[in-house]
Structures are given as structure tokens and as C-alpha cells.
Amino acid sequence: MTKTTLTTSAAFAALLAFAAPAFAQDCPHGDLDARYCDTDGDLIADIPTDPAQQIDPDTLIFAYTPVEDPAVYKTAWADFLTYLEEKTGKKVVFFPVQSNAAQIEAMRSGRLHISGFNTGSNPLAVNCAGFRPFTIMASNDGHFGYEMEIITYPGSGIEKMEDIKGRELAFSSPTSNSGFKAPSAILKSDYGMEAERDFTPVFSGKHDNTILGVANKDYPAGAIANSVMHRMIERDVIKPEQVVSIYKSQTFPTTGFGVVYNLKPELQDKIKEAFFTFPWEGSSLQEEFKKSGEEQFIEMNYKDFWDVIRKIDAANGVSYACE
């Protein structure tokens, strides 16, 4: 397994390097890029009021956050995308993105219309790419979310958080909440440990890479989303006894799904309807996501649901500047 060591500031800066020049508008936009307006204060980009600025593509492009091998999720989302085609009357194509940065860039540049962005990427997608999230997955009883865990392998010599000192700690990517932002904030505030000074940060690229790396003893420890780990255990990708958890966080919101801001309002409504009326029972989506206890889409709003994530970003000194 290839390992890449980066400074945290350089890694985050690299993710923002793709940003296209902003086209300033004379309107309230809060933390949003100047090309977007937020007149109602809900913290997400308004749909353009000028119909000439709205788009109605013949083909809709859909992407799911690259937490694992995209091939797994192309199959998992197949039934939903067929249903989405029926509801919108459009052709829908699955876009297998390889990184959070590529996913955000695709939406910002107009090449991605519907997407599920991971927890940590949601604020950047909202502020820099005009993402309008409106739903997340939940269990049948309405429970949603996941926890960040820091895992190691048996016999690693790491039994508690303090034992990470002087060792490598694997993260997924700088835009990931559980794979970087939350553990960085917790290590600093609760344990007085900072990357580079107290341990060496290593970026694996994705949660499954981190989990596999720890399970196979390539990394001594890693910060991961436990929902991904649970699905990997269910698929026999790893065995439960290959990893040991030394920390479990509070519950965070999971992947947020939504659309790019400038789709025609009536098209956005049809897409929302598809999410909220999709028949899960017996579907390829249920087959994959029931492994982590998720079996329906529920309504949410970015302002409230992502409040804790924005606070974590603030504690880490993260800026949503797009240039």
C-alpha cells in the first residue's frame, strides 16, 4: 500500500487549488463564494431567480462520496438511479469520483448535478460549489449518523490515545470529518497532540484504504467512519478481530445528498421526490446500506444538521475560502 505524508495545511490548500475564479454578485452571500446568493439566510446558495441562469440538462450526472471503491457503489445505486430516471424523465449517469476534491470540482464546474458529499466535504461543497443538500440516510426508526473511531491492530503497542505519540496516524483526506477534521480537533483539545509535532499524519485517500491499512498492519493506527468499517466487516473485506478501537466519538451526521443550485426549480423538486418516495424494500440500495443500518431517506437542512461540523472546522482553523 502506498503511503503519502503531507502537512495538514499543504494538503488542505491543495484541495482548494482547483477553484475557478468567482463571479461576484451584489447580494448577501455570507460564507458562500461570491458567485452565489443567500438572501434567506439558510446558509446555502439560492436558486437563481433569472430563468436564463437556470439549467435543465438532458442527462443528469450523479456521484456518491468516494469512501470506498466506486465500483461497489455503482452497483449499489443502480436501482435508485433507474427510479430517478423514471421520476425526472432524464437519463442519469453514475460518475465514479476518486477523491473529494474531484467531486467538489466537478459540481463547481457544472459537470455534476446530484451528489452525496461526505460529512466533512459538505461545508466546502455548499460554500464553493453551490451544493444544496436536503436529505440523509437513516434507519427505519429515524436514527441517523455515525461515529468517528480511531482504530489500531492487536499487538501494535497502541492501547490508548496517548500511545499515538511518535507514531504514524492514518487519515483519509483533509476534507473528511471523521477521516481528518474531527480527530484532529479531538486530539488537540482533549489530548494536547498535534500533527507533525506529536505524530506523523499519513493520508490514505479513502476510509477503506485506512481500514485495510490498519487491518493489514501497514498503518499503526487510523481515524475512520465506523459506518464504512461496519459495511466492510459485513462484506468480509476485513475480520472484526483484525482491528481494535481505542476511541469512539459522538454521533455525526452522515453523507448529505442534494443538488447543484442552478437546476430548474421544478427539476429540483422532482429529484427530491425521487429520494423521498424511493421504494427501498428489495432494492440494491437497501442491500448495501442495511449493512450500516440505513434504510430510508429523511429530510434535513444544512444550517442545523451541520452546525457541529462547522464548529469542528472553526476549531481546526478551516476556512471555506474558494480562492
Domain parsing of the chain, residue ranges: 12-143+253-315, 146-251
Cα atoms in the 13 Å half-sphere on the side-chain side of 136 = 23
Query: Is 211:276 a contact under the CB 8 Å cutoff?
Result: no
Residues 6+ apart with CB under 8 A from 170: 3, 202, 203, 204, 210, 213, 214, 219, 221, 222, 223
Q: Per residue in 25-34, pLDDT tens?
A: 789 988 899 9
Q: What is the DSSP letter of 177?
A: I
- Phi and psi based region of residue 207 (left: phi greater than 0; alpha: psi -120 to 50; beta: remaining): alpha
Query: Is 138:293 a contact under the CB 8 Å cutoff?
Result: no
User: Could you say which architecture CATH assigns to the domain 146-251?
Assistant: 3-Layer(aba) Sandwich (3.40)
Q: What is the DSSP letter of 161?
A: G
Residue listed under C-alpha cell 464504512: 228
Q: Per residue in 146-164, pLDDT tens?
A: 899 999 999 999 999 999 9
Q: Identical fold at 12-143+253-315 and 146-251?
A: yes
Q: What is the DSSP letter of 46?
A: P
Q: Per residue in 187-221, pLDDT tens?
A: 998 999 999 999 999 999 999 999 999 999 999 99
Q: Could you tell me the pLDDT band of residue 68, with boundaries at 50, 70 and 90?
A: low
CA 298 vs. chain centroid, Å, equals 17
CATH class belonging to 12-143+253-315 = alpha beta
Residue 222's SS3 state is strand
The pTM for the full model equals: 0.78
According to the model, what pLDDT value does residue 26 have? 84
